[in-house]
Amino acid sequence: MKLNFDNINKLTINKKLLLDCGIQLDKFDIAFETYGKLDQNKTNAILVFHALSGDQFVTGINKVTGKDGWWNLVVGANKPIDTNKYFVICANVIGGCMGSTGPKEICKETGKPYGLNFPVITIKDMVKAQAYLLDHLGIKKTLSVLGGSMGGMQALQFCSIFPDRTFTAVPIACAASHSAQNIAFNELARQAIMADPEWDSGNYISSGKVPRKGLAIARMAGHISYLSEQGLQNKFGRKLQEDKGLQFSFDADFQVESYLKYQGYSFVDRFDANSYLYITRAMDYFDLYKENNGNLSLAFKNSKIKYCIISFSTDWLYPTSESKKIVIALNSIGAEVSFVNIVTNNGHDSFLVNEPKFLETLKGFLDSSYEDFKNEN
C-alpha cells in the first residue's frame, strides 16, 4: 500500500507541553480532521478520541491510505453522529503515526526520525495536546467527548482534568485502568516487534528497514483480544482453507489462521512499529485509581458532566465489570450517569461494527443532550 501524507491537516502548537515523564515539548504538531460545520453558538462540537490503531480519519476517505474512515458506520450525514447536525473533531494522538508529533517524525535537532529518543507519553499527555487543538478552534466547551477502547480512556481522562470543557461524555468499551492481563497482551506485542531483527533497536526508518513480521504478529495477538470466542466460532469454527482437507504443513490450513495473517500484514502497511510501542505503553500506564489515591470517584469530583457508559457483554478485553466500576464511582458523587450493556457476540470490536442497539443508544443520548446543551446556552 502506498501512503500519501501530502494532504494531512497539521497544526503546529507553539506552546509548551510538559509531559508526565518530566520532559517538555517546546512545540508539537497535531494532525486532525473536522467534519460538519460549527454552529454560531459553538454548541454542536463533538471531540472523538480514536483507539490504538485508529487515526484522525474517522469518516469519509482516509487521505493517507485511500481507505474508508474507521468509523464510517457511526459518523457522517444522517448517521448516529450526524455531520449535518454536529461539528466532529478527531485528532491523531501524539505518539501516533498519521502526522502528529511521534517517533516516526523528524527531530529538528538531529534531522532524523525520533525513534526511541521520543519521550514516553501517557493518555493524559494525549488529552492535554488535544485540548490545545480545541483552543485553536475557539471551542471552550464541547457538546461531547467520546471514544471506544483507548478512545474511552481518553474521554475519562479528559473529564478528570477538564471537567468544565464538555457537557457530556460517552466512554465506550473501556476501563479506568489497565488490567494485568491487558498489560501482558501489550508486552507480548511489544516483544514481538523488538525481537524482529528489522526493528534495528528502533532505528529501522533511518536504516531503510521495516519490522514487518514483528508488527504483524503484534497485531494478530491484539486482534484476537478484540473478538469474542463465540464470534470467532460462529465466523470460522474449524473451517479449512482448502476443500482437499488437511495439508499437513504449517501454512494456513484453517480459515481463522488466514484471517489473522491478513489482519496482521495489512496493518503493517499503514502503521508504525515504534508508535505501537509508545501507544500501548501509554495505555498500560493509564490508571485513574492511582492518580486519585485509589479512589476513582475523586477523578470526577468536580464534574457536572452527563455520562453515558457503554459496554458489550462479550468484551473480555474491557469487560462489563470494568464499566460498572466507573458507573459506581460516578454514582457515589451524584453524577448524572446512564449505563448500557449491549448483549452481542461481537466482543470488544462491537463499537466498530453494525450493532443496532449501540447505534440507537449513541444517537439517542447525543440528540437529547444537544437539545439540553442548546437550552443551557
Judged on CB neighbours under 10 Å (0-12, 13-18, 19+), 35 is: buried
- 68 strand-pairing partners: 61
pLDDT for 166 = 98
Do residue 129 and residue 142 come from a single domain?
Answer: yes
Do residue 260 and residue 324 come from a single domain?
Answer: no
Listed as ranges, residues in the chain with pLDDT below 70 are 1
Residue 4 lies in a domain: no
Residue 237 lies in a domain: yes
pLDDT for 214 = 98
Residue 296 lies in a domain: yes
Do residue 134 and residue 212 come from a single domain?
Answer: no
Do residue 127 and residue 212 come from a single domain?
Answer: no
User: Number of folded domains in the chain?
Assistant: 2
Do residue 29 and residue 157 come from a single domain?
Answer: yes
| Domain endpoint, select from 222, 257, 280 | 280
- The 10 Å CB-count burial string (b at 16+, else e) for 105-133 is beeeeeeebbbeebbbbbbbbbbbbbbbb
Do residue 156 and residue 209 come from a single domain?
Answer: no
Residue 235 lies in a domain: yes
Which amino acids are annotated catalytic?
A: 149, 315, 348
Residue 335 lies in a domain: yes
Residue 71 lies in a domain: yes
Task: Give which of 200, 221, 233, 316 is closest to 264, Cα–Cα.
Answer: 221
pLDDT for 274 = 98
CB 276 within 8 A of CB 96: no
| Domain endpoint, select from 280, 305, 339 | 280
The 10 Å Cβ neighbour count of residue 51 is 27
The 10 Å Cβ neighbour count of residue 347 is 23
Cell numbers 480519519: residue: 57
| Domain endpoint, select from 248, 280, 312 | 280
CB 348 within 8 A of CB 208: no
Do residue 65 and residue 214 come from a single domain?
Answer: no
Do residue 276 and residue 295 come from a single domain?
Answer: no
CATH number, residue 100 = 3.40.50.1820
CATH number, residue 250 = 1.10.1740.110
Residue 2 lies in a domain: no
Phi, psi for residue 225 in degrees, rounded to 5: -75, -15
Residue 222 lies in a domain: yes
Do residue 325 and residue 268 come from a single domain?
Answer: no
Do residue 64 and residue 150 come from a single domain?
Answer: yes
Residue-range definition of the domain harbouring residue 235: 182-280
CA distance 171 to 191: 29
Do residue 100 and residue 226 come from a single domain?
Answer: no
* 3-state DSSP percent of the chain in helix, strand and coil, to 5: 40, 15, 45
Do residue 205 and residue 226 come from a single domain?
Answer: yes
